[in-house]
Structure 1
Amino acid sequence: MKIYIKLFLALMMLSGCNNWTKPDFTKQPTISDYKVGEKWVWKYKGVTTKGEVRSEGRDKREIVEVNGELLMTIGKDTIPVTEIVKPEVSKTPKYDWPLKVGKKWVYEENWTSQDGTTGNQQLNAEILSYKEEKVEAGTFMAYTIHYNGKITNSRGYNAVVDEVWLYAPKVKNFIKLTQKQDDFVYNEELVEYSNK
């Protein structure tokens, strides 16, 4: 009888752990998920197929509080966290919440750069998996989201785009990005995450 009780308890623990680590879906983070001092640091590098480095450096984001309001610093910019967690009202969003393996949608965005160049990207998106992924900042459960399509701009640029984003719910952000645009490859990886 003791063996059956031990076996039953072991199975209950395993099934409980499985449900905890592999949810059926992930909802969009809310403001209560962020706290002062939380910090992300990514390293990035963009290289042409000929080996020319076009961009390289680090990108840092941190949650700060000013007059009782949570803000995220991104370089020299500061954005209210309420803007980050605001549901995107779009039929073609970057992330189609809730996230779930097998989900497919179209992501489309029109943009204007600081120099006035306008552009458009239209990408098919699909969530391929949810599993442990290792990056320099650590090991996290993450969704693998594949985007592919095209990007154009007002200067005549037209390229096929293939991107893979690893989004980790624990850090409320992507932990790795690999992007290919014709003869250009861009990689970004989370190298530091702290949640004080």
Structure 2
Amino acid sequence: MKNQILILLALLLLGACNTQTKSTITQQPTKADYSLGEKWVWKFKGVTTQGEVRSDGTDTRQVVSFKQGLGMTIGKDTIPISEITKPEVSETPKYSWPLKVGKTWKYENNWTSQDGTTGSQSQDAIVLSYKEETVEAGTFMAYTIKYTGKTTNSRGYNANETEVWLYAPAVKTFIKLTQDQGDFHYVEELIEYSK
């Protein structure tokens, strides 16, 4: 009887390990993964170490009917889902697909803001874990991805930064972002998700 219990426990543990291994590799979402009416709402707040609030509000994105397919509203724009799910052709991407625990890569980004300021980010990324994470919108299995590096811009700004992104495959995006950049602390969290 004792041996049968040990065998049963061993089989259960092997099954759990097998499930964990399969679930910790995630491919980039495709067009077929999105559905009409799907909606995400985040709250965000950015504060300096002196207590100055530089950003505070909400951001909503929704999948809508767009031309001959689906699009996603982002601010005042609507972007085709086919563009959002197009594989990023870069040796230094934001997300290096497929995601899996322990994966590392370099992320680099050059940008121009609305006022004409140019800037760049250079970060080292690592996937630290894949586990249940709870945010205001609920509890999701999520990857913890840590980015560390620098941000600079054409106005002389130069700051070290650390970002931690919680990416949840079930919602096809991040559920929380925590960023420390110089004297600025920013948090963005998913507060609503509906399908």
Is 2:70 aligned against 1:78?
no
**1:100 maps to amino acid:** K
Runs of 4+ residues over 4 Å off in structure 1: 7-14
Deviation at 1:16, TM superposition (A): 6.3
Is 2:100 aligned against 1:109?
no
Counterpart position of 1:137: 137
Q: Deviations over 1:108-128 (max 9, x none)?
A: 001111111110000000000
Counterpart position of 2:150: 150
In structure 1, distance between residues paired with 2:30 and 2:18: 24
Is 2:53 aligned against 1:48?
no
Q: Deviations over 1:27-83 (max 9, x none)?
A: 000000000000000000000011110100000000001233110001111111111
Q: 1:22 to 1:157 in 2, by over 3 A?
A: same
Deviation at 1:14, TM superposition (A): 8.2
In structure 2, distance between residues paired with 1:70 and 1:152: 36
Is 2:87 aligned against 1:87?
yes
In structure 2, distance between residues paired with 1:66 and 1:158: 40
CA RMSD of aligned residues (A): 2.2
Counterpart position of 2:30: 30
Q: Secondary structure at the match of 1:190?
A: strand
Q: Secondary structure at the match of 2:159?
A: strand
Superposed counterparts of 1:115-194, under 5 Å: 115-194=115-194
Q: Secondary structure at the match of 1:79?
A: strand
Q: Secondary structure at the match of 1:102?
A: coil
The question of whether the paired residues in 1 share the 8 Å contact of 2:137 and 2:192 is answered with: yes
Amino-acid identity (%): 69
Q: Deviations over 1:120-177 (max 9, x none)?
A: 0000000000000000000000000000000001111111010000000000000000
Q: Secondary structure at the match of 2:25?
A: coil
In structure 2, distance between residues paired with 1:80 and 1:103: 29
Deviation at 1:93, TM superposition (A): 0.2
The question of whether the paired residues in 2 share the 8 Å contact of 1:22 and 1:130 is answered with: no
The question of whether the paired residues in 2 share the 8 Å contact of 1:43 and 1:191 is answered with: yes
Q: Secondary structure at the match of 1:148?
A: strand
In structure 2, distance between residues paired with 1:91 and 1:10: 42
Q: 1:176 to 1:22 in 2, by over 3 A?
A: farther
What are structure 1's unaligned runs of at least 5 residues? none
The question of whether the paired residues in 2 share the 8 Å contact of 1:109 and 1:121 is answered with: yes
What TM-score do the two structures reach when normalised by structure 2? 0.92
Q: 1:22 to 1:133 in 2, by over 3 A?
A: farther
